[in-house]
Structure 1
Amino acid sequence: MVKAEFLHHVGVNYLFAPWISWLLLLQCSPWVDQKTGVYLSLWWTLVVPVVALDLKIYGQWFTTKGTKYNLTAVANPTSQMSVIGNLVGSTAAARMGWSETAMILFSLGMVHYLVLFVTLYQRLSGSDKLPAMLRPVFFLFFAAPGVASLAWGSISGKFDTTAKMLFFLSVFLFMSLVCRPLLFKKAMRRFNVTWWAYSFPITVLAIAATEYAEEVKGKIADVLMLILASMSMLVTFSLVILTLFNSKMLLPDNDPFFSSSAVTPVPHHLPTIVTRTTPLDIRRNY
């Protein structure tokens, strides 16, 4: 299963998800100080797989011959998860004082984000390969610049002009998607696990709005922060409730793993005994 996702142009991007989640948990953990060796060890453990996946994906984009792994053929909204992985790692590095390492990861993520963003903006063939069920991942369009604004704020020490520009880009892309509800019509007909793709981008945008409001200290910024924070809480709470009522989608009864483990396989080397029922046997049963 992992090999199949690793070779799939959409599935390979989801391999960044666990490392991104653990890096975020590492940053907000109250038990691990950011200046200790434990934090450093965990950071290396989580960042190395991200960089390894970068080498695999980014290397294929400009070194592989043919059209199978060209960026124009495989680019889709989930490809931005590789960018988010680098930016989250950059934020974690900046918080422990490794500014140069944070700049390396930030540069790596942003350069490829620009290339990826332009490719997706042109709506080439790769973006059309995404199933309608996965259209909630279009929200990753504004998640990447939102995470970038937070990463740059951690590197520079304040939410400066560059961070504000990235935040404004994130808000603009968010409004562009919100104004096009028909894009998500097919994906919203029935609850699916992919709906969780709405929560992370909105939460990131709300956090960036909080940083912006603290820097600007204006009424409009405060209102924007409250609106986005309320949306984040509402979306997350709604998804939790919907997931609880549709928990069978996470662990279905016909899951191949559980079904295969519950049934004892019959050895193939044993002979098969075939019995035939005759009319005389039927009369005896009656």
Structure 2
Amino acid sequence: MTVDTGLAALPSRLEHFPISIFGVTMGLFGLALALHACGVAWASSAVGWSAFAVMLFLATMYLLKALRHPESVAAEWHHPVRLAFFPATAISLLLFATFLRDQNPAAANIVWIIGASAQAVFTLVVVTTWISHRSFGPGQLSPAWFIPAVGNVVVPLAGVPLGHFEASWYFFSVGIVFWIVLLTLVFNRLIFHDPLPGKLRPTLVILIAPPAVAFLAWIQLSGGAVDAPARLLLNIGYFFTALVAIQVPALLRLPFALPFWALSFPLAAMTTASFRFAALDGSAPHRVIGWTLLALLILTIAALTVRTIRAVVAREICQPE
């Protein structure tokens, strides 16, 4: 069986094409931004445009799914876990705008407006769903719930340089509030209730993303000042990185599934944050940390790419659960 055979079979399995697959584009754009932060511009450009091509392909496939199997999309929207992955589409656009802002500010501005608008709508709709008459149990809560609300802290990364200062403050404020709220709820679930199911255990890595991205957003909003809030956010990110690192051996024993791409973007965000701090503060240790995390990030994305291709070839992707 060839890769072509596996890819050719995807249209016939569109009904089961998961919204969580947009974690792939988040990870790839994250790698592009990390490479840019360490000064490897040519590699950043290559990875960034590759991520854009992947995003277009995935968006096309999901649009076809929406047209052919709207009931399947509705089922994902009403699923307590999969609902959280819909804003990954908006976050991917915001990351693309961040990647694009230095190359083509005008185009980046258009992409940012679309992504920020979508993120605002997703946040309101998802949070409304959470507090509506529907009842959610502790077993339905996972770190993936950070995506809809805390994804707001991604907005200032391109928003501030593009001139959307007050709007960036709005999104940052909402993101920080919901990070604190959801962090409390998630830790209550992790400590006092049953362990996460196997396929959701990789989402533990998402714990790294909010403080790492919030650090990068704060740097933009504060004009590049490495002040107390910046140091606080960065070091919280390092703590969660260490906490998750302890879980990695157990995660590697799990069978591969698309949620494993959750490992990529948080690691990329922490890598970029380390390089950014090193550049602003002149810290050699943080630059060493950045290069170490970048090496791990490249190995992680390479491994995820190989495993995803194998899964496509073996027709393990887009299967009913």
Taking structure 2 as the reference length, the TM-score comes to: 0.69
Does the CA contact (< 8 Å) of 1:73 and 1:125 recur in 2? no
The alignment partner of 2:206 has SS state of helix
Q: Is the 8 A contact 1:26 1:32 kept in 2?
A: no
Quote the Cα distance in structure 2 between the aligned partners of 1:12 and 1:128: 21
Q: Structure 1 residues 24 and 249, CA, compared in 2 at 3 Å: closer, same or farther? A: farther
| Number of the residue aligned with 1:12 | 83
1:166 and 2:233 matched: yes
Pairs within 5 Å for 1:200-215: 200-215=265-280
Consecutive unaligned residues in structure 1, runs of 5 or more: 257-286
Q: Residues 19 and 129 from structure 1, CA distance in 2 versus in 1: closer, same or farther, beyond 3 angstroms?
A: farther
Correspondence for 1:83 among 149, 153, 165: 149
Corresponding letter in the other structure for 1:23: L
One-letter code aligned to 2:176: M
Question: Which string of whole-angstrom CA distances, capped at 9 and with x for unpartnered residues, describes residues 42-70 of structure 1?
Answer: 222222221112112222444x246x147
CA drift at 1:210:
0.4
The amino acid that maps onto 2:127 is Y
Match of residue 258, structure 2, among 153, 177, 193: 193
Match status 1:180 vs 2:247:
yes
Q: Residue 249 of structure 1: CA displacement?
A: 5.5
**1:53-72 to 2 correspondence within 5 Å?**
53-62=122-131, 64-65=132-133, 68-69=135-136
Q: Is the 8 A contact 1:77 1:127 kept in 2?
A: no
Q: Which shows bigger deviation, 169-178 or 90-99?
A: 90-99
Match of residue 101 from structure 1: 167
Corresponding residue SS for 2:292: helix
In structure 2, the CA distance between the partners of 1:45 and 1:155, relative to structure 1 (3 Å rule), is same
| Bigger fraction of residues in helix | 2
Write the letter of the residue equivalent to 1:202: L
How many Å separate the matches in 1 of 2:95 and 2:193? 28
Q: What is the aligned-residue RMSD (CA, Å)?
A: 2.6
Higher relative contact order (CA 8 A, sep 6+): 2
**Which SS does the other structure have where 2:86 is aligned?**
helix
Secondary structure of the equivalent of 1:122? helix
Pick the structure with greater CA Rg: 1
DSSP-derived class of the 2:254 partner: coil
- 1:51 is matched with 120
The 8 Å contact of residues 83 and 109 in structure 1, kept in 2 or not, is answered as yes
Looking at structure 1, the residues matched to 212 and 179 of structure 2 have their Cα atoms a distance apart, in angstroms, of 12
Which letter does structure 1 place at the counterpart of 2:306? I
Aligned runs of 1:94-133 on 2, under 5 Å?
A: 94-123=160-189, 128=194, 130-133=196-199
**Percent identical residues:** 24
Question: For residues 314 and 238 of structure 2, what CA distance do their matches in structure 1 show?
Answer: 32
The structure-2 alpha-carbon separation of the partners of 1:127 and 1:164, relative to structure 1 and needing over 3 Å to count, comes to farther
Residue-by-residue CA offset, 1:88-112 (whole Å, 9 max, x unaligned): 1232211212111100000011101
Give the match for residue 231 of structure 1. Answer: 296
Query: What displacement does 1:159 show?
Result: 4.7
Check conservation: 1:83, 1:144, Cα contact below 8 A: no
The runs of 5 or more residues in structure 2 that have no matched partner are: 1-71
Deviation, 1:172, is: 0.3
SS at match of 2:92: helix
Mark the CA change 1:99 to 1:121 in structure 2 (over 3 Å): closer, same or farther: same
Report SS of the residue matched to 1:166: helix
Contact 2:214 2:233 in 1 (8 A): yes
The whole-number CA distance in structure 2 between the counterparts of 1:129 and 1:250 is 29
Counterpart of 2:312? 247
Kindly provide the CA deviation profile for residues 60-88 of structure 1, in whole angstroms up to 9, marking residues without a partner as x: 444x246x147x57532100111342111
Q: Residues 74 and 55 (structure 1 numbering): CA distance in 2 closer, same or farther, change over 3 Å?
A: farther
Q: Secondary structure at the match of 2:163?
A: coil
1:155 aligned residue: 221
Cα deviation for residue 250 of structure 1 reads 6.2
| Aligned residue pair count | 248
Say if 1:75 and 1:126, in contact at 8 Å, map to a contact too: no
User: Contact (CA 8 Å) 2:76, 2:83: kept in 1 or not?
Assistant: yes
Give the superposition deviation at 1:251: 7.0
